[in-house]
Amino acid sequence: MARTDHRSGARRWRSGSVAAVVLAVVLAGCASTTGGTGAATSDTIPPAAFHDTTGLTSTTVSLGNVSTLIGGLFKGAAVGTQAYADYVNASGGIDGRKLVVDSSDDGYSGPNNKQETEAAVARDFAMVGSFSLQDNFGGQILAQNPSVPNVTVPLDQATNQLPNSFSPQPAAAGWQLGPLQYFKTMFPDKVTKTGVLIANQPSSVEKWLGEKAAMDHLGYHVIYSDEFSIAQSDFNQNVIAMKDAGVRILFLEEMPANYASAVVKALTQQDFHPVVVFGPSTYNNTLIPASGGAAATDGDYLQQADSLFLGGDASSIPAVKTFLTWVGRADPGFSPDLFTLFGWMSAELFTQALKAAGPDPTRGSVLQALRQIHSFNGGNIEATADPASKSPSTCYLIAQVVNGQFQRLDDPPISGPTGGYRCDQPYYYASGT
């Protein structure tokens, strides 16, 4: 059972802030960068870590998870972590030990995040699946405790670079060239008239610089780019400006679903129909219905380094079906999202290292095992990445909305050597981003 600790910050929460924070954190998550690869293997594991069994008993392994649960904001991170723990425990755990998720809520407060992380480090074996915009506060504690494994998708760059931090989806400054090359090949005349919308958040602007560098590298010409406020809900003026400018392809990859659907509504209202490209943060069960259904979205594209984990790949990738089944058991009625997948994959990556550490694991032996995992895809639920070297995947998929449903398009067979992902271009590492 998970222990959920709701702090006083919850009483100060205002529901109107949820959408704004979702936008900020999604963009921050996409924008987390590393200064290069190999950081995880460059430092020596503290010798004391190989004798440290904090949070470990003969029958349990306690996993700390500090996420923003208030308002249901990143509830998915805790649910996904718990769901994977339940899945493992149903088969007897690891070497007879059950995984116990020790979940706490930072209340969208930096000091709370630091306090909860400090408490978790003192009682739990590892930090697993946490997700919060305030993780830079907890990152200070993890920096002071290099013996503690931190297996999460960090948002804070400094936390991401810690030698005890490992992500199932490593990020780096730059952009995947594959999807951009795909659309350039499909629409050579349209990419010379590209439009983008960028949230006026530092993390979003930083990530846009990486994508812009990759676009420039491939010969794209961006004729419209504008920043929007996290409080914005009407995009008609942006759409009118794009229409007047002659935009022919519009990239909305980093927008959460509620913002992207508002843009699609504006496109419909203005009778303007450029090629639309969605990304992982827009991939959500609410996107298509909130945009106006199939009539408004059919023909739009999706590019991401994850499978169609909301159900589209459930019949062909067993890990997707397993993910959805156990999320449904962990929290019946809960609609999974990207953060749920992050929690699930983080728990799976940790469990892989725990198994490799043997029947008598220590924090040190688990860290040692994590440093050996150079290939991870969660059973093909995501494209293969290199957690040990903090190297992002170069592979991706392309999907398109057909009759109101996302369907794979032009991807190789899932039964093939790349697991259904396109792996035809390198990752573009941008300097100065």
3-state secondary structure (DSSP) of residue 324: helix
As a whole number, the mean pLDDT across the chain is 90
C-alpha dist (Å) from residue 305 to 53, 115, 153, 171, 388: 35, 34, 14, 11, 18
User: Percent helix, strand, coil in the chain (nearest 5)?
Assistant: 40, 15, 40
Task: Report residue 203's pLDDT band, with 50, 70 and 90 as the boundaries.
Answer: low
Pairing status of strand 397-402 against strand 405-408: antiparallel
Residue 16 pLDDT > 90, yes or no? no
**Bridge partners for 250 per DSSP:** 195, 276
List pLDDT tens digits, range 248-305: 999 998 788 889 999 999 999 999 999 999 999 899 999 999 999 999 999 999 999 9
Question: What pLDDT score was predicted for residue 205?
Answer: 81
pLDDT at 19: 45
Q: Is it the case that residue 119 has pLDDT exceeding 90? A: yes
Band of pLDDT at residue 37, cut at 50, 70 and 90: very low
Question: Hey, what are 311's tokens?
Answer: 């159900």
Percent of the chain having pLDDT more than 70?
89
- Collect all residues with Cβ–Cβ distance below 8 Å to 244 and sequence separation of at least 6: none
DSSP 8-state secondary structure symbol assigned to residue 230: T
> Is the pLDDT confidence value at 33 over 70?
no
More confident residue, 245 or 205: 245
What pLDDT score was predicted for residue 43?
Answer: 66
Extended beta strands in 121-221, E state: 126-128, 150-151, 165-166, 174-176, 194-199
Residue 327: strand, helix, or coil? helix
Percent of all residues in the chain with a pLDDT value above 90, rounded to a whole number: 79
SS3 (DSSP) at 122: helix
Segment 52-66, tens digit of pLDDT: 999 999 999 999 999
* DSSP secondary structure code for residue 277 in this structure: E
Q: What is the mean pLDDT of residues 77-82?
A: 98
Domains of the chain (ranges plus CATH)? 8-169+317-370 (3.40.50.2300), 174-304+394-429 (3.40.50.2300)
The sign of the dihedral angle between the CA atoms of 58, 52, 342, 200 is: positive
Could you tell me which residues are beta bridge partners of residue 408?
399
Question: Of 115-124, 165-174, 191-200, where does the model show the most confidence?
Answer: 115-124
Query: Which pLDDT does position 220 carry in this prediction?
Result: 98
Model confidence pLDDT, tens digit, residues 355-411: 999 999 999 999 999 999 999 999 999 999 999 999 999 999 999 999 999 999 999
Whether residue 35 is predicted with pLDDT greater than 90 in this model: the reply is: no
23 pLDDT above the threshold of 60: no
CB atoms within 10 A of CB 75: 23
Q: Say whether pLDDT at 90 is over 80.
A: yes
pLDDT number for residue 20: 47
Name residue 63's beta-bridge partners: 101, 126
Query: 87 near 343, Cβ under 8 Å?
Result: no
Can you tell me which residue has the tokens 């649960």?
A: 69
The C-alpha atoms of residue 169 and residue 75 are separated, in whole angstroms, by: 19
pTM of the model: 0.89
- pLDDT (tens digit per residue) in 303-322: 999 999 999 999 999 999 99
> Tens of pLDDT along 181-191?
999 999 999 99
**Which residue would you say has higher pLDDT here, 231 or 407?**
407
Query: Which residue, 132, 93, 88, is CA-closest to 113?
Result: 132
Residue 133 has pLDDT above 80, yes or no: yes
* SS3 letters across 214-228: HHHHHCCCEEEEEEE
Helix (H, G, I), strand (E, B) or coil at 258: helix
CA distance 35 to 57: 37
Half-sphere exposure of 327 (CA within 13 A, CB side): 29
Coil/strand/helix, residue 65? strand
* Structure confidence at residue 372 (pLDDT): 98
Confidence of residue 231 (pLDDT cuts 50, 70, 90): confident
The region that residue 311 occupies, defined by phi over 0 for left and psi between -120 and 50 for alpha, beta otherwise, is left
Nearest-angstrom CA–CA distance, 256 and 320 = 22
Categorize the per-residue pLDDT at 38 as very low, low, confident or very high, splitting at 50, 70 and 90. very low
231 vs 425: CA distance, rounded Å? 36
> What integer pLDDT is reported at residue 10 of this predicted model?
37
